[in-house]
Amino acid sequence: MFNLNIIEHHPQRVLEAFRRGEFDQIEIIGQADEKEFFELCFQEKILGALAKDMPTARKKEEVPLWFVLAANLSLKLHLENSFLAFDRVIRCGGLLGALPPEVASKHLDPQTQEIRLECEGFNDKNHYQRATPCDHDTLRKFTKDVPAQDWMDWFNGSVQRVFQSYGFFDPAGIFVGDGSYLFVPDNPAYEGSVVLWFDEHNHPVEYDRLTAEQRKKAHRERCYKLVSLLHLRGDSYVYAALAVVPGKDHECPVLYQLVAQLVKAVGKGVIKRLIVDRGLIDGKNISRCKQEWGIDVLLPMKRKMNLWEDAWALGQQCPWQPLRQAVPERKVTPSHRPEVIVQRELKRQKTLAAKKAKEPPPDPAKVLVGTEICPIKGFTSWTECTVPIHVLLLRETYADGHQNQWALMDTADFTDPHQPKEHYDLRVKIEERHRILKCFHDLSDFSSRCFNVIAAQVVFILLSYTLRQWQLWKLHQEELAGRTPGFLERRLNLHKQYVVIYHEHAYTQMPLVSFSRELLEMEPAAQAKALAKFRRLEESLLTPLDNIRAPP
């Protein structure tokens, strides 16, 4: 279970507490990173390339497609799914700063001394001065009027061809396929959604087959299913295809359709290795991947397969060998650390060791002692599959003596018997992407119940996520690829403009100038109370960025 702290927006309560000198933390944020993101997009001309074939239901292009795309990406970079947030995002964000002055500009009104935002817009229909390049309702209608399938086809076709031309796919060609449920409120107005039963681990179950005890933990959820294809580009990630379907649809035929669509879009040779789970076992499609497209498929074997019995029968006669242990990633320790930090870390390690010594011994049934492997090649007994299957048997031994047996099957004629297991371990990457997108990007927080908008939202979230990854490897900062949006913003955003105040699981946000005024109006006692925390904040902010270590 994750320990989550919910921080709610209570501006008045937090501000009143701050005026008394009471607050838990202060964070200074800004949107310079977004400006740099769009400057890179304009410099590399990738927005124009992506928008060239972007679907539209408009006969006349009132707003350029590249701006519609940029506006949607800006919303997703701000983790906003509601089009109503566009006015705020466009005013406070960095997109306008990256646009040419003739499109948008800011100036100080000499009479009111207020900062004014002036935008030329893209047509002459407005009777009043424009505050934003286009209205939020224009974006909403544009998105809603395009059929959902057109949004997904655009992402799976034209977008991937642009990705290919910009070098988004590396020569290793490792892709991971998977399906994930997107839960929505139990409202039948969500077009195309269905209601299913799930267990306590959010796995779908058949309620009629559950025991009385299992039914107590089961729950009904209205849902969609996201089937996606993720490319592992070194330490970065590229979403190469997606499909949003009703939750009851099986992901197996959908995924292989996505593979076919991607091969059609970018050609053979881009996908060299496809890693999937046992729910995507399909002998005919696995054979097609190998024979037609040269794609080697790696996946676990089901126990009910005849191939399982044949492989384990041969495994009793074949030699076994220990599994090669993965080399742990070495943590880089700064060469120069203040002595106080060194002593603090030694004390922390001593405390952790003392706590561990007091803990009861672990359950022997959960302590893995070792893993053995046995490669067996050239199986042809799987009648549904017309290509040879190569098997890697795995036998895990635990401290209490019991063993857990499982197996991987591969269409690749591997020479290193450890390779299939090492490649299959990469599959956890797509689970991490699902978690980041759901927890931090609000992937299933749909503000509209229209399926066209829902599909577009998923498309733009995955597109913005992939373009952010592109920005990271362009900046040679791939080590940040797996981080959360908040961590990325702290590391990339060096120009700070806004202040966030936290107090008792609540927060408020205000411009830097307003925060300065609040400080000047504080009572002396409250100022003295807050001074110590401000000194610690100042010390952390003035620490050079190169000395900041990524959390373990």
Q: What is the pLDDT of residues 234-288, one digit of tens each?
A: 878 899 999 999 999 999 999 999 999 999 999 999 999 999 998 899 999 999 9
Q: Are residues 59 and 118 in the same domain?
A: yes
Q: Determine, yes or no, domain membership for 56.
A: yes
Q: Which pLDDT tens digit goes with each residue over 297-354?
A: 999 999 999 899 999 999 999 999 999 887 665 555 656 677 777 788 888 888 888 8
Q: Are residues 52 and 71 in the same domain?
A: yes
Give the residue from 75, 52, 73 showing the smallest Cα distance to 64: 52
Q: Determine, yes or no, domain membership for 505.
A: yes
Domain end call among 145, 163, 187:
145
Domain end call among 104, 123, 145:
145
Q: Determine, yes or no, domain membership for 381.
A: no
Give the span between the Cα atoms of 127 and 377, in whole angstroms: 74
Q: Determine, yes or no, domain membership for 87.
A: yes
Residue 108: which region, alpha, beta or left (left: phi > 0; alpha: psi -120 to 50)? beta
Q: Are residues 119 and 44 in the same domain?
A: yes
Q: Are residues 15 and 117 in the same domain?
A: no
Residue 223: which region, alpha, beta or left (left: phi > 0; alpha: psi -120 to 50)? beta
Q: Determine, yes or no, domain membership for 472.
A: no
**Does the pLDDT value for residue 542 go beyond 50?**
no
Q: Are residues 24 and 42 in the same domain?
A: no
What pLDDT shows up at residue 353?
87
Q: Determine, yes or no, domain membership for 291.
A: no
Q: Determine, yes or no, domain membership for 474.
A: no
Q: Which amino acid is at 27?
A: E
Six-digit token string for 234: 């070194």
Q: Are residues 12 and 55 in the same domain?
A: no
Q: Are residues 18 and 74 in the same domain?
A: no
Q: Are residues 52 and 80 in the same domain?
A: yes
What pLDDT shows up at residue 477?
52
What pLDDT shows up at residue 551?
38
Range of the domain at 541: 8-29+496-547
Each as own residue / partner, the long-range contacts of residues 207-216 (CB below 8 Å, 24 or more positions apart, any chain) are none
Q: How many domains does the chain have?
A: 2
Q: Would you say 206 and 196 are in contact if contact means Cβ atoms under 8 Å apart?
A: no
Q: Determine, yes or no, domain membership for 531.
A: yes
Q: Which position has the token pair 């100036």?
A: 107
Q: Are residues 45 and 131 in the same domain?
A: yes
Q: Would you say 255 and 276 are in contact if contact means Cβ atoms under 8 Å apart?
A: yes
Give the span between the Cα atoms of 173 and 301, in whole angstroms: 23
Q: For residues 276, 282, 288 and 290, what is the CA-based torsion angle, rounded to 10 degrees?
A: 40
Q: Are residues 75 and 14 in the same domain?
A: no
Q: Would you say 144 and 452 are in contact if contact means Cβ atoms under 8 Å apart?
A: yes
Q: Are residues 46 and 64 in the same domain?
A: yes
Q: Residues, the chain, total?
A: 552
Q: Would you say 122 and 133 are in contact if contact means Cβ atoms under 8 Å apart?
A: yes
* Pairing verdict, β 25-29 and 498-502: antiparallel
Give the span between the Cα atoms of 483 and 74, in whole angstroms: 19
Q: Are residues 124 and 22 in the same domain?
A: no
Which is more confidently placed, 505 or 77?
Answer: 77
Domain end call among 120, 145, 170:
145
Which is more confidently placed, 392 or 440?
Answer: 392
Q: Which pLDDT tens digit goes with each residue over 86-144?
A: 877 777 667 777 777 666 665 545 565 455 666 666 666 665 566 677 788 888 999 99
Write out 455-467 in H/E/C secondary structure.
HHHHHHHHHHHHH
